[in-house]
Chains A and B, each alone.
Chain A
Amino acid sequence: CGRGSAPRSMPEIRVTPLGAGQDVGRSCILVSIAGKNVMLDCGMHMGFSDDRRFPDFSYITRNGRLTDFLDCVIISHFHLDHCGALPYFSEMVGYDGPIYMTHPTQAICPILLEDYRKIAVDKKGEANFFTSQMIKDCMKKVVAVHLHQTVQVDDELEIKAYYAGHVLGAAMFQIKVGSESVVYTGDYNMTPDRHLGAAWIDKCRPNLLITESTYATTIRDSKRCRERDFLKKVHEAVERGGKVLIPVFALGRAQELCILLETFWERMNLKAPIYFSTGLTEKANHYYKLFITWTNQKIRKTFVQRNMFEFKHIKAFDRAFADNPGPMVVFATPGMLHAGQSLQIFRKWAGNEKNMVIMPGYCVQGTVGHKILSGQRKLEMEGRQVLEVKMQVEYMSFSAHADAKGIMQLVGQAEPESVLLVHGEAKKMEFLKQKIEQEL
């Protein structure tokens, strides 16, 4: 079981992070509130490739079945460190109760889980892993919820989702039993970006607010400067005649980065072509259309008028273009370079030092993305072929998390009685504790 700095007087509420390792990397928290038991998130620890990547459910199962013990499971968003262990949990350990999540999360989770399964089993030859069928069976247990909709789990337990920003469909959840309530933030962001709004919660005054401590001790570089860095890199590569590959997950940053590049190209009157692979746009359009209310005001306005990926400077990609001479920028899936079009393009362009690949997010172990981000410059591909990576490799962090300031803003909005910071060392957070206490 894990640790967190425990609240002083909360006889009816108990919080237990589940996990073999205490470090950050996987979210899975058990909350007991007035006799009800709720599991918050069921994440995979991306740093391990053995059983340590799964949460440790034996804490619960030694006393009986998960289904009997848990009243429900809540998943905050589709990132694998929050939902990656869900099929293992429900189908291999065994849980038949309800799994609550927002509609976008329900739609996107299975795609990511299947992708991850493919990498683990096909690329790494793992045995003890969930199957495609298990993912499907797991998703059948999902009950999708709307924002601000009070959902009665049973006569006493109710839950409500709040907008969290961060990624499409991410939510913070309020769990209420009678007069006791807990708010779990999952991952959230207090500043709006180009395609998502900022997290928001009403003055619900929960007894306890549970949030990650990882980012509580950071002061985040502004979004604008991250964007500037991205533009600078792309511009530099294109100026020297290089080709820039940006592997993306269709529903992550792709949309936002496209908007950014389009604006920049327009302003600078740049001529180098920008492409996105069609698979990307079809999928993204489909989901954004479905979940338009989850995006921000600006996107909604654009979408009403036309296709979200209708850009002036960004066109659909054709495989043949990869061999065209001269500079270009291509957004292609999948995001970790583990298969498909992005890997194909990577193989073509890797040998030229004028070219650049920009990885916009974390890559799972075993993928080409992970290898090049670890500094590997010689890759063994299929058929024992060795690929020498001479192109410039850049790792940019675009994920949107709240920082120390953001946490204080959320605490100011929700007005909790107590705050619980998970995944931190109590001794190392005394100052933060004092700071929050002053705000409460």
Chain B
Amino acid sequence: MESAEDWLVESLRLYQDFHAFDLSGATRVLEWIGDKGVFVAGYESLKKNEILHLILPLRLSVKENQGLCPERDFKVCHGGFSDASVFELKHVPDTRLLVTTGLPGSYLHVWQVAEDSDVIQAVSTIAVPEKEGGLWPRVAIFSSMAPGVLHGVRLRSLKVVDLESQKTTYTSGVSDSEELSSLQVLAADTFAFSCASGRLGLVDIRQKWAPSETISPGAGAAGGRWCAEVGGRGPGPSIASLGSNGQLCLFDPRDLSHPVSSAQCSVSAPSPDPELLRVTWAPGLDNCLAISGFDGTVQVYDATSWDGAGRQVEPLFTHRGHIFLEDNQTDTAPLVTTHTWHPHKSRTLLSAASDASLHVWDWVDTRAAH
């Protein structure tokens, strides 16, 4: 077993840069605001949770003379308290508003980030029509002159609510009871949904419900729980669907009927908490993805040469920091709760784990020839 010291020495070779922080509470949220700020939020059920607006360490923001900048700390710019646990947080672009969701799932909460103080204040709630014990609504934001909140627990309860008037401007209008796992707004009138079963769809809200979608029962013929993300740079497929058994399927949005390629990621066991599954596309690298939610690692894959055979693939890079730098205060190994890519620095990621750790890391691509 490598000790923390050994891993740190090893890390000199593996990372260009590496920062590790301890939040006062673990987060499942890492939502960017601009390219210098992120939101994190707690998800405890029995006590107040903090929602924090953090400014990235100056060192990570300066473009030149980084060596002369000693600032390595996050700055807490704003903070607020939530009685409910926060599982998802979305910033409403071009505003100072945030929307959060979590358990109990009866309401979405709308917050305002104050301009002249450091407070994040609760401003209103949006009622969720379908209230179900252990389920919580997914959320995405249609940003426009009048921002709308897309949310739903199941396909049948999908709707868009105008943030200001709280009027419903769109409903799916279907009776399909499939449970949603993620929602993502793609353009002014389109969004993507993924269901826990692996079913994926792209929806145009100007039309009556007629999504282009995967053939049911979905890519997850092997069962388990799925999540998806649309993104991707480069000529390849741009929708990734990740299953709790480690299967990753890539789709072309023009034809969702069959995956373009698929692979079996190198995970030692199925995800112990599939709600934490996360797959993201690198905004600055072609055909590059990151996955987390299986253990204390984040894995980066290059999907360029994948085929449709579902073969086992090896990650380009595995971030193990959360395992090796764990403070040993709990018996259970930490689980990565979420991760995200830096919008501009192509190999920089942020990752958070169940032990309240937050890492910022810039990995070295060892394939790059010198």
Contacts and interface: CB of A to CB of B under 8 A. Distances in A.
A240 interface: no
B313 interface: no
B48 interface: yes
Contact of B8 (A224, A373, A396, A405): A224
A228 B12 contact: yes
Interface stretch (A36-44, A97-105, A241-249, A430-438): A430-438
Contact of A219 (B18, B48, B73, B118): B73
Contact of B117 (A221, A405, A428): A428
A222 interface: yes
A428 B18 CA distance: 30
Contacts of B8: 224, 227-228
B70 A396 contact: yes
A235 B79 CA distance: 39
A298 to B, nearest CB: 14
Interface stretch (B19-27, B97-105, B142-150, B337-345): B19-27
Contacts of A207: none
B9 A431 contact: no
Interface in B111-148: 116-120
A430 B116 CA distance: 10
B74 A218 contact: yes
B285 interface: no
Contact of B116 (A217, A225, A373, A427): A427
A219 B79 contact: no
A217 B68 CA distance: 22
A424 to B, nearest CB: 10
B325 A221 contact: no
Contact of A228 (B11, B67, B120): B11
Q: Say what secondary structure dominates the interface of chain A.
A: helix
Interface stretch (A120-128, A322-330, A387-395): A387-395
A431 B119 contact: yes
Contacts of A108: none
Interface string B78-108: 1111000000000000000000000000000
Nearest to A219: B74
A328 B17 CA distance: 24
A393 B54 CA distance: 28
The 5 A-B residue pairs with the shortest CB-CB distance, nearest first, are A431-B79, A397-B70, A221-B72, A219-B74, A222-B20
26 contacts: A217-B75, A218-B74, A218-B76, A219-B21, A219-B22, A219-B74, A220-B21, A221-B19, A221-B21, A221-B73, A221-B74, A224-B4, A228-B8, A264-B9, A373-B68, A375-B65, A393-B68, A397-B72, A403-B73, A405-B22, A429-B118, A431-B76, A431-B79, A432-B76, A432-B118, A435-B79
Interface of A: 217-222, 224-229, 231-233, 235, 263-264, 267-268, 373, 375, 392-397, 403-405, 408, 427-432, 434-435, 438
Given A221-B74, A235-B12, A435-B50, 14 more contacts: A217-B77, A219-B22, A219-B23, A222-B20, A222-B21, A227-B8, A373-B68, A395-B69, A397-B70, A405-B22, A430-B119, A431-B119, A432-B118, A434-B79
